[in-house]
């Protein structure tokens, strides 16, 4: 059994992140939940038959009252209808303010359950148990919750921190390969944005990560969690440096929204979004071709796409870009890399530059 722990230190709400293999063999991960708590494990139709028994048994053996609620699997179900279904279940079964919701799943489940926890009876506790690589390195940490709208991703939501995050790397061994590759997009995002040494490590070890070498996976998850925790501690509600975490997301979210969350995985969309941002940086002279090529090569070597969808025209990005949450006063704000390991916020960015770069990447 491997179990590592560190604390997300926030002004008003700090919480532990537990990372390990065979992690449910340890009672050390239980706190701050306790015996007698009423637990509702919320998961989806894919995760439930594979992993619910081990998770439900863990809470039951610690003398908790446990039930399960199952949602349909997929980004297209991260919406207000699913929120209403979960709220109705809570109300009909008389769950009170002492309830703990447990989000057992990927980023969709984590975001949705966290959002419901933030609004049910004006806020109840919840625990993140992320099951995908993407959610283990990014989505489960930091308290961003919400659901999608047909006109924009994550446009309805709140900031609501979990009481703990329990990351079991064993979940990854049942993860479809495409989902594993998708998670690498967020890992690469952290390296490009914040850590040149981590970027170099990924260049040398990307295939070990893809082969689920335990030591490499644990290193990646720990590194990303530490990097994100530092950013969230400095800027919990995304007023400043937390926006750096959105590198690639302006364009990636446009792709997801355009295809109504059906055809492109989140990581696939973000990888293309990062490539567009990298090429914009190169076009305006922030990056030389050597650094740009290294970034794009790492994305491509990971098995992620580097070309925009051929059936989405360059002009189709702008309705979504103009609604991006980072924008202010109707002006486009984007995150661009200035070197490997560093990004910067650019305000009132030239729409024509964005359009020309997307056109140059686009293959009809």
* Cα 232 from Cα 230, distance rounded (Å): 6
Coil vs helix vs strand at 211: coil
The reported pLDDT for the residue numbered 1 is 60
The reported pLDDT for the residue numbered 2 is 66
The reported pLDDT for the residue numbered 358 is 96
Task: Give percent of the chain above pLDDT 70.
Answer: 99
Domain boundaries, the chain: 2-174, 177-361
**Does 98 score more than 80 pLDDT?**
yes
pLDDT (mean) for 310-333: 93
More confident residue, 40 or 3: 40
**Does 280 score more than 60 pLDDT?**
yes
Peptide bond into 32 cis (omega under 30): yes
* Cα 107 from Cα 123, distance rounded (Å): 20
The pairing of beta strand 2-8 with beta strand 152-159: unpaired
pLDDT digits 0-9 by tens, 124-172 = 999 999 999 999 999 999 999 999 998 889 999 999 999 999 999 999 9
pLDDT digits 0-9 by tens, 238-278 = 999 999 999 999 999 999 999 999 989 999 999 999 999 99
Tell the CATH superfamily of the 177-361 domain: Dehydroquinate synthase-like - alpha domain (1.20.1090.10)
* Cα 14 from Cα 233, distance rounded (Å): 9
CB 94 within 8 A of CB 124: no
**Does 217 score more than 70 pLDDT?**
yes
User: Residue 159: beta bridge partners?
Assistant: 144
The reported pLDDT for the residue numbered 363 is 63
CB neighbour list of residue 55: distance below 8 Å, 6 or more residues apart: 24, 41, 102, 104, 129
What's the CATH architecture for 2-174? 3-Layer(aba) Sandwich (3.40)
């Amino acid at each position: 059994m491997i179990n590592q722990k560190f604390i997300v230190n926030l002004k008003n709400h700090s919480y532990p992140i537990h990372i390990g293999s065979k992690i449910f063999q340890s009672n050390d991960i239980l706190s701050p939940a306790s015996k007698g708590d009423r637990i509702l494990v919320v998961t989806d139709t894919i995760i439930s038959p594979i992993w619910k028994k081990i998770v439900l048994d863990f809470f039951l053996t610690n003398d908790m009252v446990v039930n399960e609620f199952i949602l349909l699997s997929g980004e297209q179900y991260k919406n207000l209808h699913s929120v209403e279904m979960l709220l109705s279940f809570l109300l009909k079964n008389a769950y009170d303010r002492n309830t703990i919701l447990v989000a057992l799943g990927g980023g969709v489940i984590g975001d949705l359950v966290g959002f419901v926890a933030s609004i049910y009876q004006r806020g109840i506790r919840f625990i993140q148990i992320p099951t995908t690589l993407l959610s283990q390195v990014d989505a489960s940490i930091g308290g961003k919750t919400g659901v999608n709208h047909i006109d924009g991703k994550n446009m309805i939501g709140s900031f609501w921190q979990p009481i703990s995050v329990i990351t079991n790397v064993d979940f990854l061994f049942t993860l479809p390969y495409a989902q594993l590759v998708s998670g690498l997009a967020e890992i690469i995002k952290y390296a490009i944005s914040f850590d040149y040494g981590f970027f170099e490590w990924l260049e040398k070890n990307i295939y070990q990560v893809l082969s689920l070498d335990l030591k490499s996976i644990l290193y990646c998850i720990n590194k990303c969690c530490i990097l994100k925790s530092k950013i969230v501690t400095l800027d919990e509600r995304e007023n400043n440096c937390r926006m750096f975490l959105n590198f690639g997301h302006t364009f990636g979210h446009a792709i997801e929204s355009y295809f109504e969350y059906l055809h492109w995985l989140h990581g696939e969309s973000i990888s293309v979004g990062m490539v567009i941002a990298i090429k914009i940086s190169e076009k305006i002279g922030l990056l030389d071709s050597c650094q740009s090529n290294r970034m794009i090569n790492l994305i491509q070597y990971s098995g992620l796409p580097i070309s925009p969808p051929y059936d989405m025209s360059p002009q189709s990005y702008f309705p979504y870009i103009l609604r991006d949450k980072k924008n202010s006063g109707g002006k486009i704000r984007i995150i661009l890399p200035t070197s490997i390991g560093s990004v910067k916020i650019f305000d009132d960015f030239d729409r024509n530059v964005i359009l020309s770069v997307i056109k140059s990447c686009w293959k009809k």
